């Protein structure tokens, strides 16, 4: 009874924090919005990287597709895209509030659809590959996608796309995208936590532990991997759709297909917190985001060096992530979870 | 008497080495067949050929009359032909119970099946089978924390959970505590008698294979050297010579 009560209390507390935070810390609204997106990054990377043991370095491609899909659809519904994005001084575009919001939500609906479609195509092509070969094959995905976008004049080429201006005050825009990001973060967490308790979660873990054995039991491993990648792509597509509006400007290489920043960070955050767990990526994202901001503020000029050192320290001393380290150090804290295996907790 | 598995003149080469040379054997439905032979005689290669791990060079392998030598491992497994591994393979970070639950027979992988939680029926059966192999008390421990012998038992239970028609067991008693071997032989027989699973067993322990199998094939240098009932094999001078290295 108390365990159940505790869980509900924790959920309500997190929800309350999420709602109160932007009002309590108005100066940090944008940072908090970013934090939710970071949590989505880490959680969605962990589906393949942690649960299935398939390290992907190309997930940023799905994010970038979402960024472009959402913005271009919002523009394209009410305007000629090529004329708007023309490098020779595009036309200005002022959307009325109804136009803006119809476009926004149409874009946010299209973003995950396109990202998932890309994941199906890439998954069929690449997920016959095992482990390291898959990881290597995904290395170029983000870069290739970035170059494609930068070379596609209709999408604004390398000068990018200006996202339509929000028809309201800056304060209300920030709040809107904070709450959309928070909703996405919470939805990602909740959906994944439930999914991991199903057959899907079991098979992904089986693939991680021994894919040959999984095949010898007749499991359709490739299909599960493709579905897993599609789920990651869906969440990343949505995150991308939001990110375009949060930043306000889409640069093909620095925002949409930002492999060197977001693309690497999503891997780091999941590993930092503890991959293959549901809370690990969340904790990793929170710690990483705060640490990174502190480095940028107090160690400016050396921020990337400090970040690199942090990564080395984590990989060398906490190879199982912070959550894994705590679990090994203080197994008693997790004794309850040990007694009831994940499959048991899944019991309705 | 119908043959569940029919291996006909199968040849498998690795470069210049002929691992299996025109090997033929048949497994009758409901029987327990033993496969013996000195180390390196090609027993595991034959298992790999049957289970679809690698393509064969010549010959044919039929399961219930259907040619399976061109199918891949998971397809063959879904037909009901499942194998265990000599070097035990379990899902090390998952609990024993999860190992069992993931092993339920998988014919369909629609989205609805993927997002279904393990049924109460599957849980019940997983518990029974863990009980059957004597691992009930380990159900929530990670499979990787079990001893080698216990992992073998778990792998056997997982294979049973998969409800195969034919089970290929690669050295099921290797590494198992001698005092537990009799119990395991008994369980293998019960799997056949009560669950109707036909068994093809590679085994080095002569006492085990003579007790267990009704028909035995002996491989040597990649060829079938002898076949027959256990008593016949035991007294066959060629088999004795192959094992003692006289030939």
> Which residues of chain B are within 8 Å of residue A218 when distances are taken between CB atoms?
74-75, 77-78, 82, 105-106, 162
Tokens of A255: 């925002």
> Which residues of chain B are within 8 Å of residue A200 when distances are taken between CB atoms?
114-115
Q: b/e for A133-167, b at 16 or more Cβ within 10 A?
A: ebbebbeebbbebbeebbeeeebbbbebbbbbebe
Quote the CA–CA distance of A21 and A29 in Å, as a whole number: 8
CB neighbourhood size of B138 (10 A): 19
Instruction: Give one DSSP letter per residue of A116-131, joined into a string.
Output: HHHHHHHHHHHTTS-H
A49 CB-near residues (< 8 Å, 6+ apart): A55, A56, A267, A270, A275
CB neighbourhood size of B18 (10 A): 17
Tens place of pLDDT for every residue, chain B, 247 residues?
578 999 999 999 998 899 999 999 999 999 999 999 888 889 999 999 999 999 999 999 999 989 999 999 999 999 999 999 988 899 999 999 999 999 998 777 788 888 889 999 999 999 999 999 999 999 999 999 999 889 999 999 999 999 999 999 999 888 888 888 888 899 999 999 999 999 999 988 888 898 899 999 999 999 999 999 998 988 888 888 887 765 4
DSSP, res A259: I
Q: How much is the pLDDT for A335?
A: 53
Q: Is B136 exposed, middle or buried (0-12, 13-18, 19+ CB in 10 A)?
A: middle
Which of A206, A338, A343 lies nearest to residue B118, judging by beta carbons? A343
Task: For A213, list phi and psi in degrees, rounded to 5.
Answer: -65, -40
Quote the CA–CA distance of A202 and A259 in Å, as a whole number: 30
Question: Pairing relation of β-strands B198-202 and B215-220?
Answer: unpaired
In the sheet where B58-63 sits, what is the strand order?
B17-28, B3-14, B58-63, B66-67
Q: How far is CA B143 from CA A187, B95, B139, B146, in A?
A: 32, 5, 9, 6
Q: Is A208 on the interface with B (CB under 8 A)?
A: yes
Q: How far is CA A251 from CA A59, A100, A163, A174, in A?
A: 17, 21, 11, 20
Task: With beta carbons less than 8 A apart as the criterion, state whether B160 and B132 touch.
Answer: yes
Task: For B23, list phi and psi in degrees, rounded to 5.
Answer: -85, 130
Quote the CA–CA distance of B200 and B61 in Å, as a whole number: 14
Q: Which parts of chain A register pLDDT below 50?
A: 1, 336-348
Q: How much is the pLDDT for A82?
A: 79
Residue of A53, A217, A276, A280 for testing the chain B interface, max B β-carbons within 10 Å: A217
Q: How much is the pLDDT for B175?
A: 80
A339·B140 Cβ contact <8 A: yes
Q: How far is CA B221 from CA A90, B43, B79, in A?
A: 78, 10, 30
Nearest CA in chain B to A215: B74
Nearest CA in chain B to A199: B114
Q: Where are the domains of chain B?
A: 3-244
DSSP, res B205: -
Quote the CA–CA distance of A245 and A176 in Å, as a whole number: 10
Tokens of A15: 């929800």
CA distance A288 to chain B (A): 27
A186 CB-near residues (< 8 Å, 6+ apart): A14, A15, A18
Which of B94, B95, B162 lies nearest to residue A217, judging by beta carbons? B162
> Which residues of chain A are within 8 Å of residue B113 when distances are taken between CB atoms?
199
CA torsion, ordered A28, A34, A36, A37, to nearest 10 deg: 170
Among candidate residues A67, A65, A73, A69, the one with its CA nearest the CA of residue A121: A65
Q: How much is the pLDDT for B176?
A: 83
Question: Using alpha carbons only, how large is chain B's radius of gyration in Å?
Answer: 18
Q: How much is the pLDDT for B234?
A: 86
pLDDT in tens, A278-294: 999 999 999 999 999 89
Task: For B200, list phi and psi in degrees, rounded to 5.
Answer: -120, 120
CA torsion, ordered B198, B204, B207, B212, to nearest 10 deg: 0
Instruction: Give one DSSP letter per residue of A264-327, joined into a string.
Output: HHHHHHHHHH-TTSSHHHHHHHHHHHHHHHHHHHHSTTSHHHHHHHHHHHHHHH-TTHHHHHHH
Task: With beta carbons less than 8 A apart as the criterion, state whether A57 and A138 touch.
Answer: yes
The domain made up of B3-244 has a fold known as: Rossmann fold (3.40.50)
CA distance A210 to chain B (A): 6
Q: Locate tokens 């170029």: which residue?
A: A140
The ipTM, to two decimals, is 0.90
Q: Is B106 on the interface with A (CB under 8 A)?
A: yes
Q: How much is the pLDDT for A90?
A: 64
Q: How far is CA A97 from CA A29, A100, A184, A249, in A?
A: 23, 5, 23, 19
Tokens of B100: 């069992």
B74·A215 Cβ contact <8 A: yes
């Amino acid at each position: 009874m108390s365990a159940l009560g505790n869980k509900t209390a924790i959920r309500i507390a997190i929800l309350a924090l999420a709602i109160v935070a932007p009002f309590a810390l108005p100066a940090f609204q944008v940072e908090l919005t970013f934090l939710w997106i970071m949590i989505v990054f880490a959680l969605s990377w962990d589906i393949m990287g942690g649960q299935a043991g398939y390290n992907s370095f190309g997930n940023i491609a799905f994010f970038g597709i979402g960024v472009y899909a959402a913005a271009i659809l919002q523009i394209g519904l009410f305007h000629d895209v090529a004329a708007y994005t023309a490098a020779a001084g595009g036309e200005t575009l002022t959307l009325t509030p109804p136009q803006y919001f119809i476009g926004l939500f149409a874009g946010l609906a299209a973003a995950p659809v396109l990202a998932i479609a890309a994941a199906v195509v890439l998954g069929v092509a690449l997920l016959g590959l095992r482990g390291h070969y898959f990881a290597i094959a995904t290395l170029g995905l983000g870069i290739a996608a970035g170059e494609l976008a930068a070379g596609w004049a209709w999408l604004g080429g390398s000068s990018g796309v200006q996202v339509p201006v929000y028809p309201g005050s800056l304060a209300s825009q920030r709040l809107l995208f904070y709450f959309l990001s928070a909703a996405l973060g919470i939805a990602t967490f909740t959906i994944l936590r439930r999914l991991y308790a199903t057959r899907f979660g079991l098979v992904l873990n089986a693939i991680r532990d021994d894919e040959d054995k999984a095949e010898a039991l007749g499991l359709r491993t490739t299909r599960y991997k493709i579905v897993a990648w599609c789920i990651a792509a869906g969440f990343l597509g949505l995150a991308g759709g939001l990110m375009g509006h949060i930043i306000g400007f889409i640069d093909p290489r620095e925002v949409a297909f930002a492999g060197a920043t977001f693309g690497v960070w999503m891997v780091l955050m999941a590993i930092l917190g503890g991959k293959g767990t549901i809370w690990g990526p969340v904790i990793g994202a929170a710690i990483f985001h705060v640490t990174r901001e502190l480095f940028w503020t107090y160690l400016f000029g050396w921020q990337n060096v400090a970040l690199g050192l942090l990564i080395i320290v984590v990989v060398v001393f906490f190879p199982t992530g912070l959550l894994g380290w705590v679990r090994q150090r203080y197994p008693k804290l997790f004794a309850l979870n040990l007694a009831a295996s994940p499959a048991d907790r899944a019991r309705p | 008497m119908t043959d569940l598995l029919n291996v006909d003149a199968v040849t498998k080469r690795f470069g210049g080495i002929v691992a299996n040379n025109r090997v033929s054997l048949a497994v009758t439905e409901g029987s327990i067949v033993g496969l013996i032979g000195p180390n390196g005689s090609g027993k595991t290669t034959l298992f790999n050929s049957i289970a679809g791990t690698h393509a064969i060079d010549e010959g044919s392998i039929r399961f219930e009359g259907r040619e399976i030598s061109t199918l891949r491992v998971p397809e063959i497994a879904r037909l009901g032909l499942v194998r265990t591994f000599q070097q035990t393979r379990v899902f090390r970070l998952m609990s024993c119970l999860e190992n069992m639950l993931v092993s339920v027979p998988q014919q369909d992988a629609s989205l609805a099946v993927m997002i279904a939680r393990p049924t109460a029926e599957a849980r019940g059966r997983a518990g029974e089978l863990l009980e059957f192999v004597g691992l009930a008390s380990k159900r929530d421990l990670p499979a990787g924390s079990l001893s080698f012998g216990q992992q073998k038992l778990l792998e056997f239970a997982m294979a049973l959970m998969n409800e195969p028609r034919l089970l290929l067991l690669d050295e099921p008693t290797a590494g198992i505590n001698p005092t537990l071997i009799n119990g395991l032989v008994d369980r293998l027989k019960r799997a056949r008698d009560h669950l109707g699973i036909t068994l093809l067993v590679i085994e080095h322990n002569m006492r085990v294979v003579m007790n267990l199998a009704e028909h035995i094939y002996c491989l040597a240098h990649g060829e079938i050297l002898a076949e027959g009932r256990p008593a016949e094999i035991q007294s066959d001078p060629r088999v004795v010579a192959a094992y003692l290295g006289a030939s």
